[in-house]
Amino acid sequence: MAGGSIGPAGVAKERADQYQGRVTLSVIIACVIAAVGGSLFGYDIGISGGVTSMDGFLQKFFRGVYEKKQRAHENNYCKFNDQGLSAFTSSLYLAGLVASLVAGPVTRIYGRRTSIICGGSSFLVGAILNATSINLAMLLMGRIMLGVGIGFGNQAVPLYLSEMAPTHLRGALNMMFQLATTSGVFTANMVNYGTQKLKPWGWRLSLGLAAGPAVLMTVGGIALPETPNSLIERGMRDKGRKVLEKIRGTKNVDAEFEDMVDASELANSIKHPFRNILVKRNRPQLVMAILLPAFQILTGINSILFYAPVLFESMGFGRNASLFSSAVTGAVLCSSTFIAIATVDRVGRRFLLISGGIQMITCQVNVHFTLSSPLASNNHYYSTFVTGNCFYNLGGEVRGQPETI
């Protein structure tokens, strides 16, 4: 094995300095199309909360929730307490969990493109079913298909982006998935803000618009090249090298190609990967891989993004004000991702992790004092969003009076 000493991972450490290539048009197009999967994930997160606050949607599928919304004496926090509505929301995540277990072997055995195509097709079917639903069963089936799309997309797209990106830009290009996700959330919030005025069918347009990026993801997935890593892993080394030469824009890819081959051989030589990951020397990485995403989710960010309009309306905001507040949240989320993309390869992942944690602690403390302050029990309701040095104050409505937003 030429090229220098062998590191712990089983590949030569010095060969990374010999990598050649540039950011080609093929890489840009492939990454943009693949990242559409992230936008669909974000769109489905953002669109559901807004739709479940629309009267037309509730009248059609959740009549009991709609009637409780109209009662002036009903406690705001109880208006959306409905098992069917919870099933509508959670079915997407449950289906995504199950689908991700299937998507892993499919991505490894049949390639990243196959999973991207499966994800796009599932998104398309789910969007059509939701937009044309005539009963709750059809609506839930559409949500399940969207969940299947999320399971496959979240499995394959980040991996595809990492394997297609040049080494020196891998962090920034891989974060395109996160950028697409946050952009999808913001787009969904803006769509909800507009379609809620199209009564009583605006919710159908909100749900159906997901079909557009789903078509792009499916058709684009068919046209995308498979990643060199996947081709090499499946024994097609000559084809893998040709794809690598194309996406790097040069034939001088010996160093990177040899590293890919070595990594593939090392991975295939491990007989019991799941057993090995439990040994003592691998426990720190295992604990970190589990706890970091777990703690991020336990901050409640997914609940806030998913239920934002309902949460704001429960706090006393009017319908327009709650949807506008959700749009502001999505805008801050999206703009913060641009900052991360611009700095990740310069300041490193650890710096962003620590700074993001500090910002989340600050926000959580701020939310606690905001909701527990006397303002929260008066006729005026306020919400403060804090991200780093960004403060945005929104005024709600006075009960029984017109909305201020």
Is residue 337 assigned to a domain? yes
pLDDT for residue 16: 64
Looking up residue 212, the CATH number of its domain turns out to be: 1.20.1250.20
Decide if pLDDT at 265 tops 80.
Answer: yes
Q: What are the φ and ψ backbone dihedral angles of 162, each rounded to 5 degrees?
A: -65, -40
pLDDT for residue 74: 64
pLDDT for residue 387: 36
Domain that holds residue 139: 14-224+300-395
| b/e per residue 49-73 (b: at least 16 CB within 10 A) | bbbbbbbbbbebbbeebbebbeeee
Whole-number percent of the chain with pLDDT over 90: 17
Is residue 51 assigned to a domain? yes
pLDDT for residue 171: 72
Is residue 316 assigned to a domain? yes
Write the CA distances from 107 to 37, 112, 163, 178, 324, integer angstroms: 15, 5, 13, 20, 39
Instruction: Find the mean pLDDT for residues 34-51.
Output: 80
pLDDT for residue 373: 63
Per-residue pLDDT reduced to its tens digit, 78-95: 777 778 888 888 888 899
Is residue 137 assigned to a domain? yes
Residue 334 to residue 94: CA distance in whole angstroms? 26
Is residue 255 assigned to a domain? no
Q: What's at 100, amino acid-wise?
A: S
Per-residue pLDDT reduced to its tens digit, 308-343: 777 777 666 766 666 777 777 778 877 887 887 777
Band of pLDDT at residue 1, cut at 50, 70 and 90: very low
Residue 157 to residue 113: CA distance in whole angstroms? 9
Is residue 243 assigned to a domain? no
Is residue 252 assigned to a domain? no
Decide if pLDDT at 307 tops 50.
Answer: yes
User: Residue 393: beta bridge partners?
Assistant: 384
Decide if pLDDT at 197 tops 90.
Answer: no
pLDDT for residue 386: 31
Is residue 240 assigned to a domain? no
Decide if pLDDT at 118 tops 80.
Answer: yes
If one counts the domains in the chain, the total is: 1
Arithmetic mean of pLDDT over the chain: 78
pTM of the predicted protein model: 0.74
